[in-house]
């Protein structure tokens, strides 16, 4: 009976948190994106593109990003070549929502949850900036591997990072660890 309560509590926390965060994010997108005659991405998508641009420039690459004129995307240029586009799905917010939902559902202390939530979000965000930059560079150099890079390798990197963060959370900070060990 106790295990059933734990599972029900986990599922309840998970789905309430997930739908609450997705709802807030959806409202944010609705309020900040502009479609139609003039297109404008949400500020977080623009920020991810800009940070990836700055990373490339830091390493000496002639990179620039600009709003796509006919879709909700940021164009990623290397020199004069349009190498990739950064869309809403590239900003890692959906991955961050999953990460936060998981650590809230696998409860830990409030202080640990907040600190680890901030830490994990920062790690995922930074990994994503690196991912967008490196993916764009590789798609520029090896366009024939676009499917493999974009659909398989780079999602594995961002989700793998998130999975490792979850493992650390469960093993070090969640109450589940404390229940198992005594």
Domain boundaries, the chain: 2-32+51-56+90-181
* Mean pLDDT value of segment 129-134: 96
Four-residue CA torsion sign, 19, 49, 103, 153: positive
Judge residue 45's burial from the number of C-beta atoms within 10 Å of its C-beta, 0-12 exposed, 13-18 middle, 19 or more buried: buried
Q: What percent of the chain has pLDDT over 70?
A: 96
What are the tens digits of pLDDT across the range 19-32?
999 999 999 999 99
The whole-chain average pLDDT of the chain stands at 92
Supply the pLDDT for residue 176: 67
pLDDT of residue 69 exceeding 60: yes
Q: What percent of the chain has pLDDT over 90?
A: 82
Are 42 and 28 in contact by the 8 Å Cβ rule? The answer is yes
- How many Å separate Cα 19 from the centre of its chain? 17
pLDDT of residue 178 exceeding 70: no
């Amino acid at each position: 009976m106790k295990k059933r309560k734990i599972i029900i509590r986990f599922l309840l926390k998970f789905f309430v948190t997930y739908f609450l965060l997705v709802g807030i994010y959806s409202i944010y997108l609705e309020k900040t994106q502009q479609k139609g005659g003039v297109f404008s991405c949400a500020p977080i998508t623009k920020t991810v593109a800009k940070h990836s641009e700055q990373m490339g420039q830091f390493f000496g690459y002639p990179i620039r990003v600009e709003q796509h004129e006919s879709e909700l995307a940021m164009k990623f240029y290397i020199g004069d070549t349009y190498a990739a586009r950064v869309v809403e799905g590239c900003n890692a917010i959906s991955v961050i929502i999953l990460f936060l939902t998981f650590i809230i559902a696998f409860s830990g202390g409030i202080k640990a949850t907040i600190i680890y939530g901030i830490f994990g979000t920062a790690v995922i965000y930074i990994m994503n900036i690196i991912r967008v930059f490196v993916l764009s560079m590789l798609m520029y150099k090896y366009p024939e591997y676009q499917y493999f890079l974009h659909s398989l390798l780079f999602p594995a990197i961002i989700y793998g990072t998130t999975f490792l963060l979850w493992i650390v959370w469960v093993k070090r900070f969640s109450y589940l660890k404390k229940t198992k060990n005594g």
